[in-house]
């Protein structure tokens, strides 16, 4: 791809060119921007749709700075830097600061990627969240469990996508889970927080100079929690939420306060919230657009709103059009994932029958026959996804069940003579 194509236009640097960033790349190009996509994988699918590409790790800040300095000296018009689905606000902040582009501050990025520091800031600013504590040793974890009971969530302070996140109970092997959580952490740091039961909500809020609008609001689905215990695994979500108008208003006010507590005043705040009898509690805030289907499929299909466009406006210094965040449609939408039994993939049956349904808006499978399907240890181990639409949640749930009943995933355990199905 010719470098000169992007030099003719204002260029958005998109960090990541995997399937998670495709919607961002496509939206930016529809807005008239050129896209320079960066990814360490030379075969990243986003490279096929970008105006310009760079094969560099999106976590290698010195290499990214050197490359962009060279390209800017050659005439590249850098308009902004953004990512979607990749938890690297620190990289976005570093590049934005270096090149004078809009973006989160380094301090906001630090708080957004260190869950312990994030929770400490919430406490300082009076933002309701579950009880938490850093865990520096196995002995300390055991002492906390003795004092507070086993209803705790153990997690690395600096990972995402459920990696190393475990729900403890009285039967938990604390030594094993502590070691696993610590191994997932980039820095070897672990924390626990109180497990607060109640409906969980995913949100995405657009923030700009004191204005906060939350076009993304979905119920999270944890129907497989017992199957994967102690691993905490979400299985998609639904729109519209079952929250009342009053509950939604409380949640929106909470995620806005949490974002502002982190210093996030321009950009996107991705919130995870639990509804308790005492009101909502914020679990985490991410300073980025979500990956997967949330802002790519669920919200646009349910409401007609594409707030990825608004995020691009903010990232490129354009006054955001908040009128574009008003819902224009009302549909029920869900995404769900496939978690077959681990083993060698033999075949997937009835794929075309499922795809033929007009209400199936997306069906992606990430394994091929002969691949080894791993156990579900994090969101990275999902087998595939589908998105369905309907008139209401009752019809939607019937359609979701039909897909699960119709599409069969055949795997073969290494030592087994007969296949298993999911």
**Long-range contacts of 207-212, Cβ-Cβ distance < 8 Å, separation of 24 or more:** 207/256, 207/259, 207/260, 207/264, 207/265, 207/266, 207/267, 207/268, 207/269, 208/265, 208/266, 208/314, 208/320, 208/322, 209/265, 209/266, 210/265, 211/322, 212/252, 212/256, 212/259
Query: Structurally, what CATH architecture does the domain formed by 333-421 represent?
Result: 2-Layer Sandwich (3.30)
Distances (CA, A) of 228 to 90, 218, 375, 377, 412: 31, 22, 10, 8, 20
CATH of domain 131-194: 3.30.1490.20
For the chain, domain boundaries: 3-101, 131-194, 197-296+307-317, 333-421
Pick the CATH number of 3-101 from 1.20.120.1200, 3.40.50.300, 3.30.365.10, 3.40.50.20: 3.40.50.20
Return all residues near 272 (Cβ < 8 A) that are at least 6 apart.
200, 201, 202, 203, 220, 282, 283, 284, 285
Kindly tell me if the per-residue pLDDT of 377 is higher than 90.
no
Helix 138-148 vs helix 174-184: crossing angle, to nearest 10: 120
For 328-370, write each residue's pLDDT tens digit. Answer: 999 999 999 999 999 999 999 999 999 999 999 999 999 999 9
**Which of the four pLDDT bands, split at 50, 70 and 90, describes residue 61?**
very high
**Which of the four pLDDT bands, split at 50, 70 and 90, describes residue 166?**
very high
Domains 131-194 and 197-296+307-317 share a fold: no
Question: Taking the model in full, what pTM does it have?
Answer: 0.91
Query: What DSSP letter does each residue of 88-103 carry, written as one string?
Result: -HHHHHHHHHHHT-S-
For 265-279, write each residue's pLDDT tens digit. Answer: 999 999 999 999 999
**Which of the four pLDDT bands, split at 50, 70 and 90, describes residue 8?**
low
């Amino acid at each position: 791809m010719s470098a000169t194509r992007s030099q003719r236009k204002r260029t958005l640097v998109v960090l990541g060119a995997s399937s998670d960033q495709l919607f961002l790349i496509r939206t930016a190009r529809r807005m008239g921007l050129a896209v320079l996509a960066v990814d360490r994988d030379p075969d990243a699918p986003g490279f096929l749709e970008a105006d310009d590409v760079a094969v560099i790790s999106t976590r290698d800040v010195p290499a990214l700075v050197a490359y962009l300095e060279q390209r800017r000296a050659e005439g590249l018009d850098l308009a902004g830097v953004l990512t979607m689905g990749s938890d690297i606000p620190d990289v976005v902040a570093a590049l934005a600061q270096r090149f004078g582009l809009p973006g989160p501050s380094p301090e906001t990025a630090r708080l957004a990627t260190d869950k312990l520091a994030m929770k400490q800031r919430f406490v300082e600013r009076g933002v309701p969240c579950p009880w938490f504590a850093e865990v520096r040793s196995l002995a300390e974890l055991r002492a906390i469990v003795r004092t507070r009971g086993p209803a705790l969530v153990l997690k690395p302070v600096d990972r995402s996508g459920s990696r190393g996140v475990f729900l403890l109970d009285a039967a938990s092997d604390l030594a094993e889970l502590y070691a696993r959580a610590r191994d997932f952490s980039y820095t070897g740091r672990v924390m626990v927080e109180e497990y607060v039961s109640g409906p969980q909500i995913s949100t995405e809020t657009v923030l700009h100079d004191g204005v906060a609008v939350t076009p993304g609001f979905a119920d999270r689905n944890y129907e497989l929690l017992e199957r994967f215990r102690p691993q905490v695994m979400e299985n998609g979500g639904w729109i519209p939420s079952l929250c009342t108008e009053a509950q939604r208003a409380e949640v929106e006010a909470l995620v806005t306060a949490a974002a502002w507590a982190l210093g996030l005043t321009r950009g996107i705040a991705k919130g995870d919230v639990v509804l308790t009898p005492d009101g909502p509690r914020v679990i985490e805030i991410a300073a980025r657009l979500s990956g997967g289907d949330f802002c790519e499929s669920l919200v646009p299909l349910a409401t007609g709103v594409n707030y990825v466009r608004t995020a691009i406006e903010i990232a490129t210094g354009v006054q955001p059009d908040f009128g574009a965040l008003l819902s224009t449609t009302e549909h029920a939408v869900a995404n769900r994932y496939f978690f077959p039994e681990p083993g060698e993939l033999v075949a997937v049956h009835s794929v075309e029958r499922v795809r033929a349904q007009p209400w199936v808006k997306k069906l992606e499978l990430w394994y091929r026959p002969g691949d080894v399907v791993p156990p579900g240890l994090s969101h990275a181990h999902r087998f595939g996804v589908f998105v369905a639409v309907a008139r209401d949640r009752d019809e939607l749930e019937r359609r979701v069940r039909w897909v699960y009943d119709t599409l069969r995933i055949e795997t073969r355990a290494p030592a087994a003579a007969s296949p298993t199905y999911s």
